[in-house]
Structure 1
Amino acid sequence: MEEPLCLVRNGPDGELSLNPAALEVLRGIRQPVVVVAIAGPYRTGKSFLLNRLAQRRSGFHLGHTVQAETKGIWMWCLPHPCRANTTLVLLDTEGLGDPDKGDSRNDAWIFTLALLLSSTLVYNSTSTIDQQALENLGVVMALMERVRVRAGESGDAAAADFVRFFPGFVWAVRDFVLELSVDGQSVNEDEYLEHVLRLQPGSSRVVQEQNELRRCLRDFFPNRKCFVLPPPAEPEAMKHLEELKEGQLRPRFLQQADAFCRHIWDTAPVKALPGRAAVMGRMLASLAERYVEAIGNSGVLCLESAVMALAAAENTVAVAAAVAEYRRRMERELKLPTASQKELGDAHQRCERRALALFMARVFADKEQRYQLQLMSELEAAKEEFCRRNEAASEERCRAVLQELWRDVERRLDRGEYAVPGGSRRFQEHLGELMEKYHQRPGLGVKAAAVLEKFLREHEVLVRALREADQQLSEYEKKRVASEAAAAAAAAKAAAAAEAVRATEARQEEQRRSLEEQKRQLEKLLWRQQRAMLEEQERVIEHKLREQEALLEEGFEREAEALWEQIRRLEEEKEEMKKPSWIQQALDRLSSAAMLLQSLVQILLSVSQLVIWRK
């Protein structure tokens, strides 16, 4: 993108809507995205800071009056400056507290969208982190009323799990001119932030409300960072920031701004969903759609519902992409007809393995293996289609060869060479030669015996008529010739039956190998998911333990004890995650469904064979 584009429109009535053009940009990004959103009071220099992250002098519009410039949420997608194959998505939000708007609920939703869409949230404020600055960040409290992790949960229960969905948090304090010190001791920026977030003693309603906000910030954002930046230029030059060259900006500002940008570029993570599913551009677009739709419909966001809806859409696409990959590879590898069913089966295994790997790399939140079973069914159907095409190509090739070889016999028939004494035996000899030449032809494929058997049946009447008309043959010789012809027909029929049995056995072996590959790749995915879930659970537990320790140090024993109940529940969940039984249940579920699918395929094959034999 050469310049930013509005992603979320904020209408005059406060109704939020999405810009289709911006969604199309996101859907075109087939890379993981690092999403950095900036929020804060209006007219505090958010856009200027984002432009530096974009390494551009201009881009997000800078305002120079007391009126807010940015409305809604604006987006800028750029190649990540430090990571290959990664896109940096910058989100500039409408300023909080704009007096011209007069609707704090709208502020809360804009802030909530920025928070939920980002992997790192930058909160931008001015002067110092005082009580007023904290109160400006009170929109966080609205999350407990407006956002749920799971449908039907209370606000308190949801808040305990917010940390799984929330981004990293960076507080950028602009125009900071004070010395960083606490109780006369010099501190760094992070220590300054942690000091500000300490709970205050007292039991008054005001103190409790202030502490509740501090608790929310500490609980929701375990990864916190602070930067203090002095004014970028002299007051008279601030109106022309876009026009100032680097040498005209204050050195201390440049130093701090560079440290801020480096921190974001180096540490801001790829946007991920619970379970560590990396978010691509199209997924970010889908999340935005679902969040805005939920805000408009009910005014309550259910994060798990949004993720599950996204998973359903993404997994459906993953199935389609895997099947398309399978078909492309089969078309490239196969030259029909194949010499045997095994040759086709081997190609199927190779292509299926690649399609499965592609699917496993994209699927997420498929707890019941619904989409893997759908993939298994569609791959089996695609394979059967290739089998039918292979058989059709074989039949066409075999009929063409027989037709070519039969021409010589047909010319002899037309000339009457077989309508003479001894003609019947000569015809039998020529028919034997035809069969020998037929078997010597390459590339007949899997239906060679079946097509030959049908060919012989089609010419039984001619063989019988020549035999009966041959006056040179005695009745005994006619019976002997008839017996030889019947034996040849029986041998051809037996060969066709054996050919069908071999094909059926080959297909059964393909199904067995396919199931083993499906189980192997699923088990690998499940163990990887288990590791990710345990790592995420450990991070949450460690965060809660640190917070509990901080509460004890600050003298808030009752709050620390309440937090211990959350920790105990998280520990129990972790122990359940460690058990391999849920992995085995998933594998058993896949096996049962696969066996049912295989039974259906076998029934269809049996019916197909019955139809062929009746013909």
Structure 2
Amino acid sequence: MTSGPIMLVPVCLVEKNNEQLRVNQKALKILRKISQPVVVVAIVGPYRTGKSYLMNHLAGENLGFPLGSTVQSETKGIWMWCMPHPNKPNHSLVLLDTEGLGDVQKGDPKNDTWIFALAVLLSSMLVYNSMGTINNDALEKMHYVTELTELIRVKFSQRLDGLEDSTEFVSFFPDFVWTVRDFTLELNLHGHPITEDEYLENALRMIPGDNDKAKNTNTSRDCIRCFFPNRKCFVFDRPKYEKELLAHIEDVLENQLNPEFQEQSKNFHSHILTHAKIKTLREGVKVTGNRLLTIIFTDPGTRQEVDMEERTLSMSPDSFYVPVLSEAVRLLFLRGYQLGLHSNNFFVFYFPTFPFQDTIEREKKGLLLQNEEVSVNCCEARLKQLSGPLMRSISRGAFSVPGGHRLYLEAKKKVELQYNLGSRKGVKANEVLQSFLKSQLAVEKSILQSDKALTAKKKAIAVERLKREAAEKEQELLRQQQQEQQEMMEAQKGSLKEHIAQLEKKLDRKMENLLKRLENNLDHKLKVQEKLLTEGFQKEAEKLRKEIDRLRDELDDINTKKSSIVSQILDLVSSVIRVGTSADTLLDVVRNICDLLRRHFS
């Protein structure tokens, strides 16, 4: 449901026309659009006491309700400013600035009483603004309270059941705040400091005595204490001592005001926005802007009658008969009486006659149909508001994901739960809900089908991803194994090279030793041959020559084999190193080379 229009400036709610109070139709249109509970703060008091400044401060603005710099009263009638409540979400704050009481330029002083009565009946917190101190003069100016309570007593004494009980109307009276402007006294009583609230309560103490002056003073005090049980007091220093600046205080920056006044204003502002309650009727029904019209129209001071349309409430048909009957009696009462004043100030009422039962039945049928329409409109508006996030999620495809059907059901269940928890939906609540749920069946089916398809696709993608990840892991493992094998082969190749080099050195040493022995042996035999020839042993020398030739052949053969074997070994190792082979093959090559060397050079 909509909260109502945003007002940039106040509008006149109750205006004076030829000394008669009339309700402004523009203000009515604004109130009709406020479907949220309203917190209504009204301010009353003598004219030119700075009421409009306090209300502008509550609104958070310097300008709004008109201020004045002369002795002439600026505000006429009752002005209204509606705005979202800054401290209470989904609530509206309604500020009412009233015409100053006691203006000497007024034609009919009775208007002050009706202005005060309307402020009391409309508000959930009433601020009475005065200047200086709370003394007998200030209390005597509160005679409007006495007149209001007398008016209410007369009205209640005319009830059909004959009951008169002040608690009947005290229950819907507003909380009371007394603000004292330009306060110059010290908050001190009998030598002890006191609070602002204690200052007010002390001022409301009854004065002993039976004289007329004491009785008149005590009457206002007793009425305030009786009919406003919840009371609060704030005192304010002078905001600015420079007269020329004070005359145009709306143009003065807040930080240019006296620090004491700034702190007092801050405390007042905080208290009002924190403690001002929702306006309620006697039955405990929370008042919206639309229902606030009922109070305005019902009050005789506006000289207007209430339309039955403004009294339509969402309730079950079985409980309609008693409210309809009461409403018919109330309308009979309102349409029948003519207000007059006798010398004793008692109100006299005249009642006409008309078909009572027919009116009840006609009003009952009309209200039943109207109640159903109001219930449907209310419930559809509430469902539209609650389902807004769900619809936006559907539009942007938030549920077109695997598992989207479960997410959609949770979101829809949340809307249904919030709807059921709401109050005052009326007789069509379930019907409207079922219609909404039915309208969602096609959407739900589409989301479910999409969910199944996307879930199956997601599973297939997951399987493929697992396969791909397994293959990648296997490839990575193989790569690591190859790398490790390559590293091992490189290490073995290095080791083989070193081993071959060592064998070659060893072979060289053995060959050198062998050749050296053969050469030594050959030299020895040559010397022996030479000696035999010299001594004439030709036959022995020839035999020795053959052995020398054999040694020379053996020496040549050893040199040839050495070069060939070394060349073969080196070629084999180079080929293995160049082409690459497994670690086992390398080991076999090493073993073979070693055997070869042992066979030939052992």
Shorter-chain TM-score tier: 0.5 to 0.7
Quickly say closer, same or farther: Cα 1:16–1:316, change in 2 above 3 A. farther
Shift of 1:306: 11
Q: Is the 8 A contact 1:144 1:155 kept in 2?
A: no
Using a 3 Å threshold, how does the CA distance of structure 1 residues 126 and 162 change in structure 2: closer, same or farther? Answer: same
Match of 1:361 in 2: 424
2:327 counterpart of 1:320: no
Counterpart AA for 1:361:
R
Which residue is 1:167 aligned to? 174
Cα offsets for 1:327-349 (capped at 9, x unmatched): 9999x9xxxxxxxxxxxxxxxxx
Distance 1:11 1:44 in 2: 24
Residue 20 of structure 2 is matched in structure 1 by 15
Paired residue for 1:78, among 71, 74, 83? 83
The corresponding residue for 2:267 is 259
**Counterpart for residue 124 of structure 1:** 129
Q: 1:245 aligns with which of 250, 253, 257?
A: 253
Tell me the CA shift for residue 324 of structure 1: 5.1
Q: CA deviation at 1:297?
A: 7.5
Equivalent residues of 1:171, 1:227 under 8 A apart: yes
The one-letter amino acid of 1:239's match is A
Q: Corresponding residue for 1:94?
A: 99
Residue 20 of structure 2 corresponds to residue 35 of structure 1: no
After the TM superposition, which segments of 4 or more aligned residues of structure 1 sit over 6 Å from their partners?
A: 304-316, 325-330, 353-356
Aligned equivalents of 1:203, 1:258: Cα separation in 2:
42
State how 1:470-549 maps to structure 2 within 5 Å: none
CA distance in 2, matches of 1:25, 1:362: 22
What is the rounded CA distance, in whole Å, between the counterparts of 1:321 and 1:78 in structure 2?
25
| Preserved contact between residue 22 and residue 303 of structure 2 (Cα < 8 Å) | no
Distance in 2 of aligned mates of 1:196 and 1:100: 30
Q: Which amino acid aligns with 1:260?
A: F
Alignment pair present for 1:2 and 2:8: yes
Aligned to 1:225, what secondary structure does the other structure show?
A: strand
**Cα offset, 1:283, TM superposition:** 1.0
Deviation at 1:323, TM superposition (A): 4.0
Query: 1:275 is aligned with what amino acid?
Result: E
Does 89-98 or 317-326 show the bigger shift? 317-326
How much identity, in percent, do the aligned residues show? 45
For 2:294, give the aligned amino acid: S
Seen in structure 2, the aligned counterparts of structure 1 residues 246 and 293 have a Cα distance that, compared at 3 Å, is closer
Q: Which of 120, 129, 133 is residue 115 of structure 1 equivalent to? A: 120
Preserved contact between residue 172 and residue 228 of structure 1 (Cα < 8 Å)? yes
The question of whether the paired residues in 2 share the 8 Å contact of 1:318 and 1:362 is answered with no
* Contact kept? 1:38, 1:123, Cα under 8 Å: yes
- 1:272 is paired with a residue whose SS is coil
**Letter aligned with residue 35 of structure 1:** V
Q: Tell me which residue corresponds to 1:182.
A: 189
SS in 2 for 1:91: strand
- Letter in structure 2 aligned against 1:206: K
Q: Which residue of 1 aligns with 2:282?
A: 274
2:63 aligns with one of 45, 58, 64: 58
C-alpha displacement of 1:211: 1.3
Higher Rg of the two aligned structures = 2
Q: Judging changes above 3 Å, is the alpha-carbon distance between structure 1 residues 268 and 327 closer, same or farther for their aligned structure 2 residues?
A: closer
Report what 2:491 is aligned to. none
1:45-68 alpha-carbon deviations (Å, 9 max, x no partner): 000010000000110000111111
Q: Hey, what's the Cα distance between the residues in 2 that align with 1:82 and 1:327?
A: 28
**CA-CA distance at 1:243 after TM superposition:** 0.7
Whether contact under 8 Å (1:170, 1:224) holds in the other structure is yes
C-alpha distance in structure 1 between counterparts of 2:37 and 2:142, whole Å: 29
Question: Is contact 1:36–1:120 with CA below 8 Å preserved after alignment?
Answer: yes
Q: C-alpha distance in 1, partners of 2:193/2:205?
A: 17
CA distance in 1, matches of 2:224, 2:139: 10
How far does the alpha carbon of each residue in 1:407-440 deviate from its partner, in whole angstroms, 9 at most, with x for none?
xxxxxxxxxxxxxxxxxxxxxxxxxxxxxxxxxx
TM-score, normalising length: structure 1: 0.51
Question: Displacement, 1:266?
Answer: 0.5
Can you give the 5+ residue segments of structure 2 that lack an aligned partner in the other structure? Answer: 1-6, 307-325, 335-362, 388-412, 435-602
Match of 2:164 in 1: 157
1:326, 1:297 → 2: CA distance?
29
SS in 2 for 1:97: coil
Question: Are the aligned partners of 1:112 and 1:143 in contact in 2 as well (CA < 8 Å)?
Answer: yes
Cα distance between partner residues in 2 of 1:74 and 1:25 = 13
Alpha-carbon distance between aligned partners in 2 of 1:262 and 1:5, rounded to the nearest angstrom: 25
Q: How far apart, CA to CA, are the structure 2 residues paired with 1:134 and 1:32?
A: 33
Structure-2 separation of matches of 1:155 and 1:48: 44
**Maintained 8 Å contact 2:170/2:228:** yes
Report deviation, 1:321.
3.1
Check 1:355–1:254 CA distance in 2 against 1; reply closer, same or farther (3 A cut): closer
| Among candidates 207, 216, 227, match of residue 220 of structure 1 | 227
Q: Aligned pair 1:200/2:207, yes or no?
A: yes
CA–CA separation in structure 1 for the residues paired with 2:28 and 2:253: 34
Unaligned runs of 5+ in 1: 299-303, 333-349, 364-371, 384-615
Deviations along 1:1-33, one digit per CA (max 9) or x if unpaired, are 000100000123x21101000111111112111
| Contact 1:287–1:306 (CA under 8 A) maintained in structure 2 | no
> Alignment partner of 1:278: what SS?
coil
Structure 2 distance, partners of 1:179, 1:35, is 32
CA–CA separation in structure 2 for the residues paired with 1:30 and 1:94? 27
Contact 2:207 2:214 in 1 (8 A): yes
Q: Say whether the 8 Å CA contact 1:151–1:305 is kept in structure 2.
A: no
Deviation of the 1:115 alpha carbon? 0.9
Deviations 1:374-402 (A, max 9, x none): x79x979x99xxxxxxxxxxxxxxxxxxx
Letter in 2 for 1:197: L
1:411-426 aligned at under 5 Å gives the runs none
Retained in 1: the 8 A contact 2:21–2:302?
Answer: no
What RMSD in Å do the two structures reach over aligned CA positions? 3.9
Deviation at 1:204, TM superposition (A): 1.5
- What are the Cα deviations for residues 94-153 of structure 1, in whole angstroms up to 9, with x where unaligned? 000000004321100001001100000000000000111111111011113323564714
C-alpha separation in 2, matches of 1:105 and 1:114? 14
Would the alpha carbon gap of residues 295 and 145 (structure 1) be closer, same or farther in structure 2, given more than 3 Å must change? farther
How many Å separate the matches in 2 of 1:197 and 1:275? Answer: 30
Counterpart residue identity of residue 13, structure 2: L
TM-superposition CA deviations, 1:522-578 (whole Å, max 9, x none): xxxxxxxxxxxxxxxxxxxxxxxxxxxxxxxxxxxxxxxxxxxxxxxxxxxxxxxxx
Give the distance between the partners of 2:177 and 2:299, measured in 1 at CA: 23
In the TM superposition, residue 288 of structure 1 has moved relative to its aligned partner by 1.4
**Where in structure 2 are the equivalents of 1:338-353 lying within 5 Å?**
none
Shift in Å, 1:209? 2.1
Distance in 2 separating the partners of 1:314 and 1:176: 54
